[in-house]
Amino acid sequence: MTATPSDPMPAVFLDRDGVINVPVVTDGKPFPPATLADFRIIDGVAAAIVAFRDAGYRIIVATNQPDVATGKQDQAVVEAMHEKLKSELGVDDILVCYHTDEHACPCRKPKPGMLMEAQRKWNLDLTGSVMVGDRWRDIEAGQAVGCRTVFIDYGYAEKRPAAPDFIVKSLAESVALILPNHS
């Protein structure tokens, strides 16, 4: 059966800090880089994204960036980082939640609002999709919409996710699990 433009496509949802770019780890906890100069893409990410795209997946970044709401980060800096991701990696979309937990918004992971927004916007098949993240919030968001989940385990000093489908050490390592016929 040939897919038509109206058929839902699968996506690989990617968290940003720790999945795509190098996080700043302080006291065992990950934080986003403060400046565009400090924003470095992790080795192997570009090749992984090409492999996912070549296999027919949309590439959607879904990231919590609460430092904007708390005044620790300027939104223009975050947007410059995202422009870099779009130009260097060619991701299809970047969805951002600038809220803190106290805002109780539906888009802040672990709530699945960003993934559901992407599903509506891009006509995605969520059960055929995958959420890749390095924190429990990412995994819970993916599980909430029926995605397979891949946890990149850096051994952070924080809550661990419950029952991800796969545990890996990098996005590059996840390619063989998400695309089992990939060589």
Residue 164 included in any domain: yes
Provide the domain limits for residue 30.
Answer: 11-178
Q: Which residues of 144-177 are buried (b: 16+ CB within 10 A; e: fewer)?
A: bbebbbbbbeeebeeeebeebbbbbebbbebbeb
Active site residues: 15, 17
Residue 183 included in any domain: no
DSSP for 19-45 reads: TTB--EEETTEEE--SSGGG--BPTTH
Residue 161 included in any domain: yes
Q: What is the pLDDT of residues 68-111, one digit of tens each?
A: 999 899 999 999 999 999 999 999 999 999 999 999 999 999 99
> How many Cα atoms occupy the beta-carbon half-sphere of 151 within 13 Å?
20
Domain count, the chain: 1
Q: What is the pLDDT of residues 22-58, one digit of tens each?
A: 999 999 999 999 999 999 999 999 999 999 999 999 9
For the whole model, what pTM was predicted?
Answer: 0.94
Determine the Cα–Cα distance for residues 87 and 126; give it in Å rounded to an integer: 26
